[in-house]
Amino acid sequence: MTETAEASAAGKSTWRKIYEFPLVALLLGLLAFLAFGAVLGLSFGGIMDAAGYQDADAAPEWLSAYLPGLLLAAGSVLLVKLVIRRLGAEPRDDLPFDSRFRDFFIGILFAAVLMSAIVAIAALLGGYRIVGWGGSTSIAFIILLGGFQAAFFEEILFRGVIFRFLEEFFGSWIALALSALLFGLVHWSNPNGTLFASIAIAVEAGILLGAAYMLTRNLWLAIGLHWGWNVVQGYIWDVSVSGIAVDGLLDSKPAGDELISGGAFGLEASVVAMVIATGTGLWLLKKSMDLGHLVRPWWVRRREQITLPNSTGPVSPTLGVRG
């Protein structure tokens, strides 16, 4: 039998198997993001030069802050549609524009309730205090665009590439632990970042967002949760978002014990958020396990001929998955 015939009999060529191997798919996805980042940086530099601004600090906020965030979000979606959806042994589109898109809005509403509950409990415990109205004059614009960069870019990178392909190789548990740890570590360099804040982000957000992806097997719910969390936390309740101070509808101050208030980093570094958000993440994780969405390691699936879970949804307002 010739090599071509052998490859045909096996179903896939050796090069195809290498290309589809989960860790190779992970590397290709990361390289695609690096290339995209380089192109975006050069393009934005050209836009700034054309507008006559050599220094980004001298440019208006919509040009220096919101435009690059919008371009980063739109480019990340385009990257999924053109590249990421073609990677791996069982390629799929993690951003389907069908009924599952509604999960984005469910995620926003659910995150709004979740973050408001965290703020309320922190206030009752003396860790959050409203001192007046905020000074934001562009709140509608901020709500529409302020969460785009982090929600789309970070979820596509961390859940749509890193978690997805780590999970395809190591299985759900190791992938969830590694992606959550990495997600927390990248926030350590944020303003007012500390080791505790980094661990808090890893535990509360890493589990919550990873479990949201596992539940639906697409990115819309995770993106909605991330966007709603940031916008409601920062631009409504005026709490620092991962250490970054923002100007919200209200003017508030952290108060009392930093374990309750999170200090300058914000409520994400508080035990209140760790308990509530982590508990919610574990609840979503249990729901995903009940649906059979727990992925076993690559070598086990290969030996037992198990396929990956399919994308489901949309979810209900209580985050129960509909058929």
Mapping DSSP onto H, E and C, the string for 153-187 reads HHHHHHHHHHHHHHHHHHCHHHHHHHHHHHHHHHC
Contact, 256 vs 185, CB < 8 A? no
Read off the pLDDT of residues 16-58 as tens digits, 9 standing for 90 and up: 999 999 999 999 999 999 999 888 888 877 887 777 777 767 7
Q: Quote the pLDDT of residue 294.
A: 96
How far is CA 91 from each of CA 19, 164, 262, 301, 307, rounded to the nearest angstrom? 12, 11, 40, 16, 12
- Assess contact for 70 and 44: CB atoms under 8 A: no
Distance CA 240, CA 263 (A): 9
Of 55-59, 83-87, 132-136, highest mean pLDDT:
83-87
Residue 223's pLDDT band (cuts 50, 70, 90): very high
Is the entire prediction scored with pTM above 0.85? yes
In this predicted structure, the answer to whether residue 4 has a pLDDT above a threshold of 80 is no
Q: How confident is the model at residue 146 (pLDDT cuts 50, 70, 90)?
A: low
Whether 9 shows a pLDDT value over 50: the answer reads no
* Per-residue model confidence (pLDDT) at position 66: 74
Distance, in Å, from the CA atom of 89 to the CA atom of 148, rounded to the nearest integer, reads 30
Mean pLDDT (the chain, rounded) = 89
Strands 128-133 and 250-254: antiparallel
2 secondary structure, DSSP code? -
- The predicted-structure confidence for 163-186, as pLDDT tens digits, reads as follows 999 999 999 999 999 999 999 999
Q: What is the mean pLDDT of residues 58-84?
A: 84
